[in-house]
């Protein structure tokens, strides 16, 4: 009885979510660092879709604010579990879809952990980038009697609104141009595009990319937190019977740290970096929220990042914004601003404003949910 109603309710809710289009927002909360277990947390409560943050109101009283996402991952969720949720999205690349996956959050919140993994990589620690490519290899191999796939990757960095090649043999110093050609769409013709067919190929390339990235950093100047890195996977599949070609692409983006810097405290290069980051992250937010609200004008041209990804944001493309939260109470200010960014990108999809644009099917499902909820309430 009760369990079945609950189950039905969840199934319908998921169906509504699936019909909701191509922009999804996930939230992941990092665990406390070792030895930090008694630290005060800003996170009051989490469930599958909601995170509640503990704040304080002006008069010092405790207050709570809840944010809703397509999915919330708590601190004990493993890399494998995170990936398994994203697997259908990743696999759609082999069917010719364009996919963008973004890791957003303040420095230290776990973006690189999600996308790449911890510094000392173990099998269980492997991040989305490795798992996604391994999975593409695995599925393309399963389909090899019917479709022949070519998979290749690029790895770019955007730092201070300049695009550089992380797979370049002679370092990352050359600035590259983003071009728009009629037959290739948006591309960076001078960046290395490397064919891959084994997970070990990917591991080797990522090592080159990481080395190139760290060459530009010093201990005091961790450039990786102030640049965006983008691993792009290009897939081309040829149907062995019809000869038809399909193309898909996936961008896996580890964004620059979203923390606001105090303008009174930084000057020179650091200020310039901060302004570039600000500009590109808000440009990204603007693009995604105007896509979500189906606005007729999408402002792609306001940053290098959105220009680079233009073909893969909007239309039939699928976007996953993965926001990361540090649990410490001291991070509360940044946590709230991260959740607000995520909410801005997401609520247009989840909010009531879209009701009249819903298809009849969504409306019907919503009505069913309402009546199931009522049934549930009567049981309680
Ligand atoms: P960012 O890339 O956002 O600056 P990192 O991914 O480097 O943050 O994470 C900061 C630290 O926290 C790293 O030492 C990382 O290994 C650790 N960490 C982050 N997320 C997790 C997680 N889900 N589980 C365990 N450790 C994590
Ligand atoms: Mg990082």
The predicted structure's pLDDT at residue 379: 72
User: Any binding-site annotation on 107?
Assistant: yes
In this structure, which residue's CA is closest to atom 14 in ligand 1?
118
Candidates 30, 83, 214, 331: which one to mutate for ligand 1, based on the most atoms within 8 Å of Cβ?
A: 30
H or E stretch at 378: helix 360-379
DSSP 118-162: -SS--TTT--HHHHHHHHHHHHHHHTTTTEEEEEEEEEEEEETTE
Candidates 110, 115, 258: which one to mutate for ligand 1, based on the most atoms within 8 Å of Cβ?
A: 110
Instruction: Give the C-alpha separation, 250 to 317, whole Å.
Output: 10
SS3 169: coil
> Residue 48: phi, psi to the nearest 5?
-55, -30
User: Any binding-site annotation on 111?
Assistant: yes
Q: Which residue has the tokens 């269980």?
A: 124
Ligand nearest to the CA of 113: 1
Q: Which two tokens stand for residue 186?
A: 């948006």
| Mean pLDDT value across the chain | 86
Instruction: Give the C-alpha separation, 183 to 58, whole Å.
Output: 57
In this prediction, residue 17 has a pLDDT band, given cuts at 50, 70 and 90, of: very low
The predicted structure's pLDDT at residue 59: 80
Instruction: Give the C-alpha separation, 213 to 274, whole Å.
Output: 18
Residue 211 has pLDDT above 80, yes or no: yes
Contacts 24+ apart (CB under 8 A), 38-42: 39/327, 39/328, 39/329, 40/328, 40/329, 41/327, 41/328, 41/329, 42/327, 42/328, 42/329, 42/331, 42/332, 42/335
In this prediction, residue 99 has a pLDDT band, given cuts at 50, 70 and 90, of: very high
Candidates 118, 120, 257, 324: which one to mutate for ligand 1, based on the most atoms within 8 Å of Cβ?
A: 118
**E strand segments, the chain:** 23-29, 43-46, 50-56, 62-68, 71-73, 98-104, 147-159, 162-165, 179-181, 185-187, 194-195, 228-239, 245-254, 318-325
- Residue 105 CA, closest ligand 1 atom number: 3
Q: Which two tokens stand for residue 3?
A: 């369990």
User: Any binding-site annotation on 211?
Assistant: no
Minimum mean pLDDT range among 147-156, 167-176, 187-196:
167-176
Q: Is 164 in the pocket of ligand 1 (CB under 6 A)?
A: no
Query: Strand 98-104 vs strand 245-254: parallel, antiparallel, or unpaired?
Result: parallel
Q: What is the dihedral of CA 137, 138, 142, 146, to 10 degrees?
A: -20
Q: What is the C-alpha radius of gyration for the chain, rounded to an integer number of angstroms? A: 22
Q: Which residue has the tokens 């509640």?
A: 52
Cα 364 versus chain centre, distance: 31
| CA-based nearest residue to 253, from 70, 106, 99 | 99
- Residue 109 CA, closest ligand 1 atom number: 3
Tens of pLDDT, residues 36-71: 777 788 998 889 999 999 987 778 788 899 999 999
Instruction: Give the C-alpha separation, 132 to 128, whole Å.
Output: 6
Instruction: Give the C-alpha separation, 227 to 240, whole Å.
Output: 41
CA of 188 to the centre of ligand 1 (A): 30
Ligand nearest to the CA of 223: 2
In this structure, which residue's CA is closest to atom 22 in ligand 1?
30
Q: Is 109 in the pocket of ligand 1 (CB under 6 A)?
A: yes
- Residue 324 CA, closest ligand 1 atom number: 3
Instruction: Give the C-alpha separation, 141 to 168, whole Å.
Output: 29
CA of 113 to the centre of ligand 1 (A): 5
The count of other CB atoms within 10 Å of the CB of residue 39 is 12
The predicted structure's pLDDT at residue 356: 35
Of residues 228 and 271, more confidence is placed in 228
User: Any binding-site annotation on 112?
Assistant: yes
Q: Is 226 in the pocket of ligand 1 (CB under 6 A)?
A: no
Residues 6+ positions from 287 with CB-CB distance below 8 Å: 298, 299, 300, 306, 313, 314
The predicted structure's pLDDT at residue 109: 96
The predicted structure's pLDDT at residue 351: 34
The predicted structure's pLDDT at residue 316: 83
> Residue 259: phi, psi to the nearest 5?
-60, 140
Instruction: Give the C-alpha separation, 372 to 148, whole Å.
Output: 46
Ligand nearest to the CA of 104: 1
> Residue 15: phi, psi to the nearest 5?
-65, -40
Q: Which two tokens stand for residue 345?
A: 């990108």
Cα 181 versus chain centre, distance: 27
Q: Is 110 in the pocket of ligand 1 (CB under 6 A)?
A: yes
Query: Between vectors from CA 310 to CA 226 and to CA 336, what angle results, nearest 5°?
Result: 45
Tens of pLDDT, residues 115-162: 999 989 899 999 999 999 999 999 999 999 999 999 999 999 999 999
- Residue 77 CA, closest ligand 1 atom number: 23
């Amino acid at each position: 009885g009760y369990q079945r109603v609950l189950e039905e309710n969840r199934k319908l809710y998921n169906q509504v979510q699936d019909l909701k289009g191509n922009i999804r927002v996930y939230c992941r909360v990092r665990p406390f660092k070792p030895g930090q277990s008694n630290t005060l947390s800003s996170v009051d409560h989490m469930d599958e879709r909601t995170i509640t943050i503990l704040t304080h109101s002006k008069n010092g009283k405790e207050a709570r604010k809840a944010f809703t996402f397509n999915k919330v991952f708590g601190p004990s969720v493993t890399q494998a579990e995170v990936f398994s949720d994203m697997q259908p999205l990743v696999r759609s690349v082999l069917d010719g879809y364009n996919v963008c996956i973004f890791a957003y959050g303040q420095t230290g919140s776990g973006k690189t952990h999600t996308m790449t993994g911890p510094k000392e990589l173990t099998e269980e620690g492997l991040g989305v980038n490795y798992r996604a490519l391994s999975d593409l290899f695995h599925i393309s191999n399963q389909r090899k009697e019917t479709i022949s796939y070519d998979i290749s990757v690029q790895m770019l960095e955007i730092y201070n609104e300049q695009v550089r090649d992380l797979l370049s043999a002679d370092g990352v110093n050359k600035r590259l141009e983003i071009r728009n050609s009629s037959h290739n769409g948006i591309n960076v013709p001078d960046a290395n595009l490397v064919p891959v067919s084994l997970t070990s190929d990917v591991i080797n390339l990522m090592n080159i990319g990481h080395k190139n990235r760290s060459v530009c950093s010093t201990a005091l100047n961790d450039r990786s937190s102030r640049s965006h890195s983008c691993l792009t996977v290009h897939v081309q599949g040829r149907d062995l019977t019809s000869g038809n070609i399909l193309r898909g692409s996936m961008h896996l983006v580890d964004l620059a740290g979203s923390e606001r810097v105090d303008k009174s405290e930084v000057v020179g290069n650091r200020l310039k970096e901060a302004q570039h980051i600000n500009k590109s992250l808000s440009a990204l937010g603007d693009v995604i929220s105007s896509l979500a609200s189906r606005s007729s004008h999408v402002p792609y041209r306001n940053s290098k990042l959105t220009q680079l990804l233009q073909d893969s944001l909007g239309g039939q493309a699928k976007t996953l914004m993965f926001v990361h939260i540090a649990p410490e109470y001291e991070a509360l200010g940044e946590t709230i601003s991260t959740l607000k960014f995520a909410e801005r990108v997401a609520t247009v999809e989840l909010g009531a404003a879209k009701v009249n644009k819903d298809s009849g099917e969504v409306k019907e499902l919503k009505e069913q949910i309402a009546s199931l909820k009522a049934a549930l309430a009567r049981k309680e």
